[in-house]
């Protein structure tokens, strides 16, 4: 690279960094990001070596490369701003890679324009600022494109070795990237005269190694549930899938950089794609440049890159979301960049085809330059519009609450607020109770994000859903009330701590609350009758009391420490419990079956209260209580009861009968 090319690289990197790092303290850290963070934390401390990522939208586990790629920052920090900064850094590098790839293929002017468009496109910026698997796919695909240039155009053997492994690493980060396999196949086939068989064999071996964790993960999944993939595909086939024009609407929005506000604020209406008017001359010019200066090989590459994926998603058994087209963003930018590569000889050489004399050639030259500078002005205007559009919508979503829409669209609570909440929790208190909607981190963002964010702060972070469960820790603890937690009746139990802090949220959103308790509050629910002898089950949970009020049964339990808190492994310890009421003749009058509090939330010494509807409970003479585990995978549809243990620790049946006083 010459000096002016190095200067160009520095300039586009500065532009990309400025767009992606602006208000980086306020990046999102929501549901999927938190679950990826859990798996990365477990790997960082040596608890697991994952063979699967989190479950994809079609029900099949993602490859573990989604975890391996974001592992490095978790060796040093669990702060969402720090770990998301790693993703931002990868995407800044991605802008530099696009510049280099375009520079080597088309020259300096197209490279500058392509990298600048990619640096400021609001969709590209938004998809560079989350710990979301699809947000860090493109840098690896761009690196593999550069390697393909070096290997199959320039004949570098080491690059031929690395092209396919790097490509497969990037494609495993998100399933949608597999739509670009034909593009890489096209490029490699075009360079077949430069193939070096030893390099290709070594590349195949490395590719197999890159694929091995995912293959092992799929084998593991199918051994546990042989019908998993078939059932997921069948479920997708039964849905009303998007298809049709839907992929092309998303395609057009990402191409023009418009409509990002409809994703960040789902209640916004889709704007007219007026920036497309600015870009239309550039796109037409780019298509003409491709035809005029480059052969069908380059035409084919762009078609496979930009046209094949939306065509594929017209047929694929999945709903279609804008982030499926993230790998197309560099291609869009490169296509616009080609508009700067106009063959100047057309304007300067006379006579010109189609003209009769020098005067008409001069007129053609003038019109041509009007077109060139009009096109360049339109692109500059589009660049400024994209930049201002991103800054404007980011300012709005950081100040005002954004409704959550389909596909987790909507800008969620910014990290600067989340970090203020984490900082307000005293480090000497190791126990936190989170009041939210659901206990399951697979379905509730607050249950997912706080164990990740507070891993260095609290030894035990528990999530309580709106109703049916209450926990009283045996040590000083903090109650973290989320905006959804104010709707639970538990708020009355956890409102008299020694210190209360309210952390302001965005405009229109309820605040977060932090309540410090030096000791457990007094249970203010139904009166509880103590059991003369607590009943122990073989999961080491103790039943210690019961109560009946207004057709509801209340049970009090003493909990052991969680048998396992890891992402996947903890679910093996989740159980259901039942409560049956019997009359004096032993006939069942009513029953309650519900989920027991998830095992990953248990902390040694905690007292748990559960309650649920049990009609006729007030007339019971015998209360029968037991646990059972629901079968999964090959055991789906079966139930497995847990044993009651006698004082010697020996099995003594599958339930306990308590005579009601």
pLDDT tens digits for range 552-592:
999 999 999 999 999 999 999 999 999 999 887 778 888 99
Residues 236-252 have a mean pLDDT of 67
pLDDT of residue 345: 43
Taking 90 as the threshold, does the pLDDT of residue 242 lie above it? Answer: no
Taking 50 as the threshold, does the pLDDT of residue 114 lie above it? Answer: yes
Q: Give the tens place of pLDDT for each residue, 385-434.
A: 899 989 999 999 999 998 888 777 899 999 999 999 999 998 888 899 99
List the Cα angle 150/155/159 in 5-degree steps: 45
Quote the CA–CA distance of 641 and 627 in Å, as a whole number.
6
Q: Give the tens place of pLDDT for each residue, 195-230.
A: 999 999 999 999 999 999 999 988 888 877 776 666
pLDDT of residue 349: 42
Contacts with 49 (C-beta within 8 Å, 6 or more apart), sequence order? 43
Give Cα separations from 626 to 8, 437, 538, 545, 582 (angstroms): 70, 26, 11, 14, 14
pLDDT of residue 609: 96
529-659: CATH number = 2.60.40
Q: 373 falls in which pLDDT band (50, 70, 90)?
A: confident
Spell 471-487 as b/e; 16+ CB within 10 A means b: bbbebbbbbbbbbbbee
Residues 312-337 have a mean pLDDT of 85
Top-ranked range on mean pLDDT: pick from 81-95, 293-307, 463-477:
81-95
Contacts with 627 (C-beta within 8 Å, 6 or more apart), sequence order? 537, 539, 541, 575, 576, 577, 578, 596, 641, 642
Lowest mean pLDDT among 198-212, 258-272, 456-470: 258-272
Lowest mean pLDDT among 61-65, 101-105, 343-347, 490-494: 343-347
Q: Cβ(103)–Cβ(111) under 8 Å?
A: yes
Contacts with 581 (C-beta within 8 Å, 6 or more apart), sequence order? 553, 588, 589, 590, 591, 614, 616, 617, 619, 620, 622, 623, 624
In the chain, domain spans: 3-239+258-392, 426-517, 529-659
Q: Cβ(376)–Cβ(340) under 8 Å?
A: yes
CB atoms within 10 A of CB 1: 12
Q: 238 falls in which pLDDT band (50, 70, 90)?
A: very low
Q: 372 falls in which pLDDT band (50, 70, 90)?
A: confident
Q: Give the tens place of pLDDT for each residue, 134-191.
A: 899 999 999 999 999 999 999 999 999 999 999 999 999 988 899 899 999 999 998 9
Taking the model in full, what pTM does it have?
0.91
Residue 271: phi and psi, rounded to 5, are -80, 165
pLDDT of residue 244: 65
Instruction: Tell me the β-bridge partners of 260.
Output: none
Which of 198, 199, 111, 112 shows the shortest CA–CA distance to 148?
199
């Amino acid at each position: 690279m010459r000096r002016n090319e190095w200067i160009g690289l520095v300039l586009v990197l500065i532009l990309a960094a400025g767009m992606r790092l602006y208000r980086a303290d306020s990046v999102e850290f929501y549901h999927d990001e938190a679950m990826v963070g859990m798996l990365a934390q477990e790997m960082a401390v040596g608890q697991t070596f994952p063979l699967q990522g989190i479950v994809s939208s079609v029900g099949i586990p993602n490859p573990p490369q989604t975890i391996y790629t974001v592992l490095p920052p978790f060796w040093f920090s669990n702060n969402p701003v720090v770990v998301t900064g790693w993703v931002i850094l990868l995407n800044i590098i991605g802008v530099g890679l696009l510049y280099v790839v375009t520079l080597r293929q088309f020259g300096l002017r197209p490279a500058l324009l392509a990298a600048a468009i990619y640096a400021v496109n609001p969709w590209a910026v938004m998809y560079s600022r989350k710990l979301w698997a699809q947000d860090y796919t493109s840098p690896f695909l761009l690196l593999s494109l550069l390697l393909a240039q070096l290997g199959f155009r320039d004949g570098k053997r080491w690059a031929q070795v690395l092209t396919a492994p790097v490509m497969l690493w990037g494609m495993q980060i998100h399933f949608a990237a597999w739509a670009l396999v034909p593009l890489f196949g096209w490029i490699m086939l075009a360079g077949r005269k430069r193939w070096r068989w030893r390099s290709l064999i070594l590349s195949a071996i490395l590719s197999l190694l890159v694929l091995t964790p995912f293959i092992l993960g799929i084998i593991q999944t199918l051994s546990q549930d042989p019908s998993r993939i078939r059932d997921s595909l069948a479920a997708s086939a039964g849905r009303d899938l998007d298809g049709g024009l839907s992929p092309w609407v998303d395609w057009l929005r990402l191409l023009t950089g418009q409509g990002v506000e409809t994703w960040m604020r789902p209640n916004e209406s889709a704007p007219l794609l007026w920036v497309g008017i600015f870009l239309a001359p550039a796109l037409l010019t780019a298509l003409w440049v491709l035809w005029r200066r480059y052969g069908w090989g380059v035409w084919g590459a762009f078609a496979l890159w930009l046209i094949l994926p939306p065509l594929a998603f017209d047929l694929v058994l999945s709903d279609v979301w804008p982030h499926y087209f993230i790998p197309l963003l560099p291609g869009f930018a490169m296509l616009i960049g080609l508009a700067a590569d106009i063959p100047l000889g057309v304007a300067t050489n006379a006579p010109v085809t189609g003209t009769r004399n020098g005067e008409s050639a001069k007129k053609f030259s003038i019109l041509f330059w009007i077109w060139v500078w009009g096109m360049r002005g339109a692109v500059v205007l589009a660049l400024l519009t994209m930049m201002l559009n991103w800054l404007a919508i980011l300012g709005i979503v950081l100040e005002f609450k954004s409704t959550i829409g389909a596909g987790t669209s909507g800008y969620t609570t910014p990290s600067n607020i989340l970090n203020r909440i984490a900082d307000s929790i005293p480090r000497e208190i190791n126990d936190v109770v989170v009041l939210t909607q659901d206990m399951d981190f697979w379905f509730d963002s607050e249950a997912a994000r706080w164990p990740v964010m507070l891993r260095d702060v609290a030894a035990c972070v528990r999530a309580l859903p709106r109703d049916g469960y209450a926990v009283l820790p045996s040590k000083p603890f903090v109650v973290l009330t989320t905006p959804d937690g104010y709707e639970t009746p538990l708020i009355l139990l956890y409102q008299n701590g020694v210190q209360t802090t309210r952390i302001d949220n965005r405009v229109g959103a309820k605040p977060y609350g932090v309540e410090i308790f030096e000791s457990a509050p007094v249970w203010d629910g139904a009166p509880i009758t103590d059991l003369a002898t607590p009943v122990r089950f073989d999961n080491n949970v103790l039943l210690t009391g019961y109560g009946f009020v207004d057709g509801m049964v209340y049970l009090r339990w003493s909990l052991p420490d969680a048998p396992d808190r890891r992402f996947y492994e903890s679910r093996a310890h989740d159980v259901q419990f039942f409560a049956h009421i019997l009359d004096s003749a032993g006939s069942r009058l009513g029953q309650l079956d519900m989920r027991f509090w998830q095992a990953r939330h248990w902390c040694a010494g905690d007292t748990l209260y559960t309650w649920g509807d049990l009609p006729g409970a007030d007339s019971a003479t015998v209360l029968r209580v037991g646990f059972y585990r629901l079968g999964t995978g090959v055991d789906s549809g079966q139930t497995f009861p847990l044993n009651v243990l006698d004082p010697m620790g020996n099995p003594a049946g599958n339930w306990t009968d308590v005579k009601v006083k």
